[in-house]
Amino acid sequence: MKVSLSLDKSYSEDVAIMVDVLRASTTMTVAMENFGQIISVKSIEEAERLAKKYDAVLAGERRGAAIEGFDVGNSPVEISKFNGKVLVITTSNGTRILEGMKAKVLIGSFINANAVAKKAMDIADNHIEIVMAGVEGRFAIEDFLGAGEIIRNLTDCNLDEMALAAYMSSCNYDMVNDAIINSRSAHRLFELGLSNDVDFCVRRNIYDLVPEYEKGSIKGTKY
């Protein structure tokens, strides 16, 4: 099995795993416990329209901050307090990346790394692509290290150089946590009073849920 790592854009037509550690991937995984369906959209206007159509809970952020008038931001800690049939979510990076993916799409992070790796191995033909969401097209260390954690759970795979670098970088638990806590993204969340989200997002393998994205809709399976 070939494993590759890319930033911001997806190229695979086999299986791709979107990784947005802080926070979309983590929030979506948590939300799957309490919602039957998640609708992921790029624009605020479309999110508002669909939330009215489906009488859905409305979640989202821009530059980390919750969007005025929404029920909740892009917070894995806060989203766990909501439930319903449908959640509509829009985020700065994760939902934008999902729209451009053509493969069978899974959503991964530290909290479900083992489960998403198992699912990917089972459904891939010969290629698993890990897609780092990054921040507005820029490299984000938390997504690189989150990708590495997922890759550590893949077995008997041929890693490209980027994937190998992520794998090697993710091996020291304390260094990984320190790097994420000191990242640009984490500092932005600290400024917004969301330190609990950062602490939650670096927890390992506490969920066996794997969100699966297809044509704007996300549903989950346990693995």
**The three-state (H, E, C) secondary structure of 14-78, written as one string:** CEEEEECCCCHHHHHHHHCCCEEEEEECCCHHHHHHHHHHHCCEEEEEECCEECCCCCECCCHHH
pTM (predicted TM-score): 0.97
pLDDT at site 152: 97
- What does the pLDDT profile of the chain (223 residues) look like in tens digits? 999 999 999 999 999 999 999 999 999 999 999 999 999 999 999 999 999 999 999 999 999 999 999 999 999 999 999 999 999 999 999 999 999 899 999 999 999 999 999 999 999 999 999 999 999 999 999 999 999 999 999 999 999 999 999 999 999 999 999 999 999 999 999 999 999 999 999 999 999 999 999 999 999 999 9
Q: Where are the domains of the chain?
A: 2-22+95-222, 27-92
- Can you give the pLDDT at residue 179? 98
CATH superfamily of 2-22+95-222: ComB-like (3.90.1560.10)
Tokens found for residue 33: 């416990």
* Contact predicate 34/89, CB 8 Å: no
> What is the C-alpha separation between 214 and 179, in angstroms, rounded?
32
SS3 category, 142: helix
Residue 41 φ then ψ, to 5°: -135, 160
